[in-house]
Amino acid sequence: MARKFFVAGEWKDNESPKVVKKIVSTLNEAEVPSHDVVEVVVGPTFISLPLVKSLLRSDFHVAALNCWVGEKAPISPEMLVKKDIPWVILGETKRRAVSKETYERVGDKVAHALSQGLKVIACVGETLQQRQSGSTMSVLAAQTKAIAEKITNWDNVVLAYEPVWAIGTDKVATPALAQESHCEFRKWLSENVGAAVATSTRIIYGGFVNGATCQEFAEQPDVDGFLVGEASMKPEFIDIIKSATVKKN
């Protein structure tokens, strides 16, 4: 069975309600492939979550940009579920570095979020130093193993490969390099988690992508979509969503 294309946007900037409404309006008015072709999720900042959820078209969904373990946490899965927020993005690579989140901590957060009924976009990725030393797959394996040890059902997990060195820098990963990394990552999943999980789990690309480059990335057989940063707050996000038709064709 083919994996449905998946496009998620991270709206990390604390924009004013006026700007957020304009972004949502652009999405609501856009003609995009149907939900059976592409699944779209947008992740605004916590302060904008209620506004975006109230205005966003029904075939798109919202995600929280993080959550913590425990009902008394600043933002817990329990709180998100009560607010009818279906998705959460966890393990984002820059947050791992800033918050000193260990692989095990991210695994705990993913497992707890799933247990409370959330769907999870789980991020993994390597630094430039790790890539240059040839340890990309060992890093991805260690990060994913910490998740795999805590969960048994992967139905509500999307994996986002975020090459840290290709985000907000002058270094760009080519579509061929993204495919190579995704292919090796899927092979690891098959050998260490299970062939069925490897076949069905979507691995989306979280490096730099925009309206001009998305089509070529989408053509890669093991790239199942995108986790988009700055471009997700611009009209070109529509073009990125539309790149899903490459898979359908």
Q: Are 63 and 228 in contact (CB under 8 A)?
A: no
Q: Are 227 and 210 in contact (CB under 8 A)?
A: no
Q: Are 7 and 38 in contact (CB under 8 A)?
A: yes
Which of 7-11, 125-129, 179-183 comes out lowest in average pLDDT?
A: 125-129
* Percent with pLDDT over 90 in the chain: 82
Q: List alpha helices for 47-117, DSSP H.
A: 49-55, 77-82, 93-99, 103-115
Structure-derived torsion over alpha carbons of residues 205, 209, 215, 217, reported in degrees to the nearest 10: -40
Evaluate if residue 168 carries a pLDDT over 80. no
Q: How many residues are recorded in the chain?
A: 249
Taking the complete model, does pTM exceed 0.85, yes or no?
A: yes
Mean pLDDT of 146-162: 97
Q: Are 177 and 198 in contact (CB under 8 A)?
A: no
Q: Are 8 and 227 in contact (CB under 8 A)?
A: yes
CB atoms within 10 A of CB 37: 15
Tokens found for residue 170: 């002058």
Q: Which helix (DSSP H) or strand (DSSP E) does residue 62 occupy? A: strand 60-64
The one-letter code for the residue type at 110 is V
Q: pLDDT tens digits for 108-153?
A: 999 999 999 999 999 999 988 888 899 999 999 999 999 999 999 9
Q: pLDDT tens digits for 67-96?
A: 998 767 889 999 999 999 999 999 987 777
- Please tell me the distance from the alpha carbon of residue 30 to that of residue 164, in angstroms, as a whole number: 31
Mean pLDDT of 206-219: 94
According to the model, what pLDDT value does residue 245 have?
96
Vertex 179: Cα angle to 196 and 123 (nearest 5): 65
CB atoms within 10 A of CB 17: 11
Q: Are 160 and 204 in contact (CB under 8 A)?
A: yes
- Please tell me the distance from the alpha carbon of residue 123 to that of residue 93, in angstroms, as a whole number: 7
